Structure 1
Amino acid sequence: MDALALQATFSDLTTPHVADACLRVGVPVRCAPAAVRPLWPGTHVAGPALPARHGGSVDVFLEALEHSAPGDVLVVDNGGRTDEACVGDLVALEVAHAGLAGIVIWGLHRDTPQLRAINVPVLSLGAYPNGPERLDPQPVDALTRAACGTHTVTREDVVLADDDGVLFLPADRASEVAAVATRIRDTELRQAARMQLGTSLREQTRFADYLVARDRDGVTFRQHLRSLDAAVEE
């Protein structure tokens, strides 16, 4: 699935929808640490991962962009460092000119007002005024894999990001996950609409019946929900 197809497929899906779908189809749920947050609300990003491991110089980002395609998402691995910012306005401008869909940083950014004006979605651990004072040797795999928290991201991954955070999933399962996420979303929308009209969630999920089945047969709430095709949790 190319970048345009990914954006169209996931445009109306949230990261919670997709995370629940991953659980349902057996795809490991790989979320960036909760501290990786968008710079502004209303962020929604979907695209192929473009990894880059930062060693103190922006040249690794420029080299990554040499191999990028419009709609990619730059995933920057700066080891979660909080003593330097590794992405600023010039990198963000170059990313915008290359047509990328966004930047996810396992580290810090700077030039916050300029980044907001450039308007390429950025998610990071926060802002910091000082850039790198080091220059480490560039690893041979600096452009093929990036860490984000405990997870490794490669060109075989898709990046999804919104106000709830960042999710990585294998590109070869994206269509399957999206189809299930769409069903979960639609079920939740129907349940919410019924709640607005006065039918409680307990009524919709036949919660009293669940309590009986739990005490009698050891049924879990998730098993009960699956039997009703209801959505609250996976």
Structure 2
Amino acid sequence: MSGVIVTGPPKAAAADVEALAGYGVATVHEAMGRTGLLPARLRPIQQGVRVAGTAVTVLSWPGDNLMIHAAVEQCGAGDILVVTTTSPSTDGMFGELFATALMRRGVRGLVIDAGVRDTAELRALGFPAWSAAVSAQGTVKATGGSVNVPVALGGRLVRPGDVILADDDGVVVIPREKAREAAAASAAREAKEAAARAAFQEGQLGLDRYGLRDRLARLGVTYTSHEEYARDGAGA
């Protein structure tokens, strides 16, 4: 497998990345029309952390982390490293030493559709990671790959410079040219949710706030007392 290392790709504006960092993954995913969500198998190794940054992408051979070493040089402040492999892998391709090098360069975190190791050390360093597996299995450095090319994670395209937002709920990718639009849509959705939250705290039901009683009726869902239900034999 040969490859290419692309230098200086375009990136989302830093101000738009910071705006998106103020919202949760679920909010942004919904605000973008339920698009951009990366596979649910990508789980955080820590809890209570949210990060946003611009993607530096890596396409590697399974069990080979050579291209992660190459990618470190292309990473800078505000980036998030996004790694996938040419076929499924759970090998521990990333650990404490990589995190140390990336933190020195201002990288905000890792998303890897493969395995990580040294998870206790990563948490102690404060370097957040989302991975498909945790495994002590070691890797080699023997095969070429690519850095800063479009990659696919679970059928979802991630391009270098796109915005990656990750928290306890998962990971979402926002196309770099839509970052400002996504931030505005997320703000509107959060305001709508705040109004709903206040209504629920006052005792309003979702059935009424969202007009769902009519939907139940249209679907043929009926109300009946326990006595009627039992008399008809359904509650036996």
Interval of TM-score (by shorter of Structure 1 and Structure 2): 0.7 to 0.9
Shift in alpha-carbon separation, 1:154–1:198, aligned structure 2, 3 A: same
Residue in 1 aligned with 2:28? 18
Residues 94-109 of structure 1: pairs in structure 2 closer than 5 A: 94-109=101-116
Q: Does 1:189 align with 2:200?
A: no
Residue in 2 aligned with 1:45? 51
- Please give the alpha-carbon distance, in whole angstroms, between the structure 1 residues aligned to 2:19 and 2:30: 16
TM-score by length of 2: 0.79
Report which of the two has the higher share of helix.
1
Shift in alpha-carbon separation, 1:134–1:81, aligned structure 2, 3 A: farther
Deviations 1:87-123 (A, max 9, x none): 0110111111110111000100011111111111100
Q: Does 1:67 align with 2:74?
A: yes
The one of 153, 157, 176 equivalent to 1:148 is 153
CA shift, 1:207, in A, is: 2.8
Task: Name the amino acid aligned to 1:146.
Answer: V
- Please give the alpha-carbon distance, in whole angstroms, between the structure 1 residues aligned to 2:69 and 2:182: 32
CA shift, 1:163, in A, is: 0.8
Residue in 2 aligned with 1:180? 185
Q: Does 1:2 align with 2:9?
A: no
CA shift, 1:197, in A, is: 1.3
Shift in alpha-carbon separation, 1:6–1:44, aligned structure 2, 3 A: farther
Task: Name the amino acid aligned to 1:197.
Answer: E
Residues 153-232 of structure 1: pairs in structure 2 closer than 5 A: 153-210=158-215
Shift in alpha-carbon separation, 1:8–1:37, aligned structure 2, 3 A: same
Secondary structure of the 2:47 match is: coil
Shift in alpha-carbon separation, 1:131–1:9, aligned structure 2, 3 A: same
Deviations 1:203-223 (A, max 9, x none): 2223335557x58xxxxxxxx
Asked whether the 8 Å contact 1:106–1:147 carries over to 2, the reply is no
Q: Which moved more, 1:185-194 or 1:146-155?
A: 146-155
Asked whether the 8 Å contact 2:76–2:106 carries over to 1, the reply is yes
- Please give the alpha-carbon distance, in whole angstroms, between the structure 2 residues aligned to 1:102 and 1:174: 19
* C-alpha RMSD of the superposition: 2.2
CA shift, 1:148, in A, is: 1.6
